[in-house]
Amino acid sequence: MDLIKKIEATRQVGNEFLTWLFFRTASGTTGLLDTPQGPVELSFEDRISFVSPYASGDAQVLKGADLGESMDSLRAIAGGRLIDDAKVSIKFQEKRWEFVYSGSKFAPGGIKVPAVLADTELETVIERFDLLATLEQVMRSLYDSFLSLRLDEKAWQTEVANIRKWLQQ
């Protein structure tokens, strides 16, 4: 398979990842996700952008509070749309990060790290880098969980059935 075909075959993996995170947080009672580093509380904030994997240019942007529980979000997913980007917050080990995660670019942007309590400029820079590295580890761990599920055909079919059941409720 040449490179262009590989890119086309995996283009929506980032969008599927975000949509799966949305399902995992919105269908649970607490929004907690387990990782090898410990529990992560993830929530979708005040902006979610949806795209159709079948019709280019068919996008929908939702803004407002409690999008993780909104009927508009559920209708978009039930209608076959995937999350393209979303404002997300993660709470891990009593620290909170906020950022916009782009599924199509597979990258966070506009990251707000937790408050830094260093005494010098150098310590502040080092602590900020450590906080960014922690966020990267948490997101990588969540993505590893998604990928191990997504690449196991039987487990993924079970997960898709769970998503369908959740959407019907």
8-67 pLDDT, tens digit per residue, is: 555 678 899 999 999 998 887 556 788 888 999 998 888 999 988 776 667 788 887 776
pLDDT digits (tens, 9 = 90+) for 108-124: 999 999 998 888 999 99
Query: Residue 104 contacts by C-beta under 8 Å, 6 or more apart in sequence?
Result: 11, 14, 15, 51, 84, 85
pLDDT digits (tens, 9 = 90+) for 68-101: 667 888 888 888 888 899 999 999 999 999 999 9
